[in-house]
Structure 1
Amino acid sequence: MTMADDDDDFLFQDEDDEDDSDEGSELVPGLAPWQVLIVDDDPEVHAMTRLVMRKFAFQGRGLAFISAYSAAEALTVMRGDHDIAMILLDVVMESDDAGLKLVPQIRDELGNRAVRIILRTGQPGQAPEDDVIAGYDVNDYKAKTELTARKLVTATITALRAYHHIRTLERSCQGMERVAGLGLCQMALSGSSAAAGAALDQMAEVLEQPADGLFCVIYGTDRLSARILAGRGRYQDTAGHPLATVADTGPLATALRAPGELRHEFTDDAMTLVWPLAAQSSGQQAGAVAMLHLHLVRPLDEIARRLALLMMMRIADALVTAWALEQVRDPT
């Protein structure tokens, strides 16, 4: 290591002695922490980073640190399954430019464009900021002599906010691709009951939730008399039974007993989606409404809710097609 020991004496000193936690942010129990990788050959830097950021919270989530003491070790970590949001990366480690060489390995070799990389160096003259920012895909550059606790907090908030936006966009694109790739024609050809079961399975898969719910079609105002077309999880053996046998308590009962028209309901642990069916063209009773109820192990964010609604619309179309095919096969 060629970096002088004195360089780290300034690391994380806080000129105003301010609190090192995110302003106005509190940890929310149950939310997974942000994963942060510290890459530095000085154990004291790891210890000080953890100490300074121990109270940090952003969007209700704290930090979970992973330590690597060389660029090679960091690359091994990045090849794993860790959802790492940010890397605090030293420049000088096993070689004078080990940290810089790691950047294209992460971006190009691993194809990871989402993780935010903050370079920290004790020798800014050896790796000038303008050259580094222009030549390497990094998101921030800090000399250790200027990196106070407050500046580290600010840089971390900026990095995590950007990472969150990138991951949200990625999830939206991936979700749209999965919805577009659903086997809706196959669902329709398999019949209405099988289509209902497939709808539950595929909805759970797209939302990355357990398949634990039911699907039914409701006619008229007597909602509890509607019969379940398919069930999964706790409703596994309920197909053919009326809703009244399972909808006595909980969010499903709330949705069914609400006055007026059925509407979408989202809670932290369940969702109920409804969609009107073009029943007149399928030989079914007019005014039919498809309803899908799914229990959740974690709340859905706005993107997941929009994907669920888009998928429900397509499922309803597949169900109407299944009804029409059944009419053709058995017109009686």
Structure 2
Amino acid sequence: MTMADDDDDFLFQDEEEDEDAHEGDELVPGMPPWQVLIVDDDAEVHAMTRLVMRKFAFQGRGLAFISAYSAAEALTVLRGEHDIAMILLDVVMESEDAGLKLVPRIRDELGNRAVRIILRTGQPGQAPEDDVIAGYDVNDYKAKTELTARKLITATITALRAYHHIRTLERSCQGLERVAGLGLFQVALSGPSAAAGAALDQIAEVLEQPAEGLFCVIHGTDRLAARILAGRGRYQDAAGHPLATVADAGALATLLRRPGELRHEFTDGAMTLVWPLTAPAQRPLPMAGLDDGGATAILHLHLVRPLDEIGRRLALLMMMRIADALVTAWALEQAREPG
């Protein structure tokens, strides 16, 4: 279907006015763009949409457009692309209801409930808005004659915000499921070092980061004398050595400004988690070979990309479970010792 010339005017009539509509959102270098799929059999619609949205940014991210010129082509794209945030979908293409028929295939056949779908039609009377909204799982319905640049920007912000919330909830649930499934307590049977190594591997896996870091335990106030239980990557050979032997040990030590005070730290390139190790009776855990007293676990992991809020919360939740597993490992180790 070809968009009428007067429809073109509606897309552009307030374009200059809308230059400030997203002025506050600036692109952040390195941030991946939002993926937007344009499904329309009119090449001019694709070109105009890209032009109108060329300076758009939301949450520091621009837009990356993917074009499909039929419902069948769109379905093929969606089978291969799993991070499309929004679809601008024409109703009339290879058939009068091709766009409408595509919606249940996206939702039911592909199981994609997250992507936001905005229907656009040049013939709104052919598919009345009330009927479409009630009968199809779409998020907005616009006549092309009313979809000005300002309205397109507003609809896009609404769609992307909703998509972000849905993905955030999904990631949170998936992360919690993975944390709940961790087998750290089984590994604890092999001793503290094995538990610490497993902790590094599993926290890196859940956070989708490379396993490069170290796990150590501080006893008392002599921080640099803390022993490293396990290391990965550049710290692979550090296990069993004091923290003072690690090049960036000073940076790690500053995280504990006073004994017993927690100091988590998240930067773009690393995270450091600090957690007290206490026995079930809330008594400081005595560790084999050391005088009785409080102990603190430190996990330091290098990051290839910064963690978002969900990633940080998952990391802290995992660290709590790791600390419990480590206490169990030491208790089992001491129980095996004669006398």
Q: Please, what TM-score do these two structures have when normalized by structure 2?
A: 0.92
CA distance in 1 between counterparts of 2:87 and 2:228 reads 50
Q: What letter is aligned with 2:68?
A: A
Superposed CA deviations along residues 46-84 of structure 1, whole A, max 9, x for unmatched, are 111111111000000000011111000101111113410
Give the 5 Å matches for 1:95-134.
Answer: 95-134=95-134
**2:59 matches 1:59:** yes
- What's 1:328 paired with? 335
CA distance in 1 between counterparts of 2:107 and 2:228 reads 49
Alpha-carbon contact 1:35-1:85 (below 8 Å) kept: yes
Percent identity, aligned pairs only, is 84
Superposed CA deviations along residues 6-49 of structure 1, whole A, max 9, x for unmatched, are 46434512337313461311000010000000000111111111
CA distance in 1 between counterparts of 2:124 and 2:158 reads 22
Question: How many Å apart are 1:205 and its aligned residue?
Answer: 0.9
Alpha-carbon contact 1:116-1:138 (below 8 Å) kept: yes
**2:48 matches 1:48:** yes
CA distance in 2 between counterparts of 1:221 and 1:249 reads 15
Question: How many Å apart are 1:283 and its aligned residue?
Answer: 3.9
CA distance in 1 between counterparts of 2:232 and 2:49 reads 47
Give the 5 Å matches for 1:312-327.
Answer: 312-327=319-334
CA distance in 2 between counterparts of 1:306 and 1:251 reads 23
Alpha-carbon contact 1:13-1:149 (below 8 Å) kept: yes
Q: 1:274 to 1:28 in 2, by over 3 A?
A: same
CA distance in 1 between counterparts of 2:109 and 2:65 reads 23
CA distance in 1 between counterparts of 2:110 and 2:145 reads 31
Q: What letter is aligned with 1:295?
A: H
Structure 1: tracts of 5 or more residues without a match: none
- What's 1:310 paired with? 317
**What secondary structure, in the 3-state scheme, does the structure 2 residue paired with 1:229 have?**
strand
Q: Please, what TM-score do these two structures have when normalized by structure 1?
A: 0.94
**2:287 matches 1:288:** no
Aligned residues: 330
Q: 1:224 to 1:9 in 2, by over 3 A?
A: same
Question: How many Å apart are 1:250 and its aligned residue?
Answer: 7.8
**2:296 matches 1:300:** no
Structure 2: tracts of 5 or more residues without a match: none
- What's 1:171 paired with? 171
Superposed CA deviations along residues 306-330 of structure 1, whole A, max 9, x for unmatched, are 1111110111110111111111222
**What secondary structure, in the 3-state scheme, does the structure 2 residue paired with 1:210 have?**
coil
Alpha-carbon contact 2:189-2:332 (below 8 Å) kept: yes
Superposed CA deviations along residues 155-212 of structure 1, whole A, max 9, x for unmatched, are 1000000000111111111111011000022121121101100000111111111111
Question: How many Å apart are 1:292 and its aligned residue?
Answer: 0.4
CA RMSD of aligned residues (A): 1.8
**What secondary structure, in the 3-state scheme, does the structure 2 residue paired with 1:130 have?**
helix
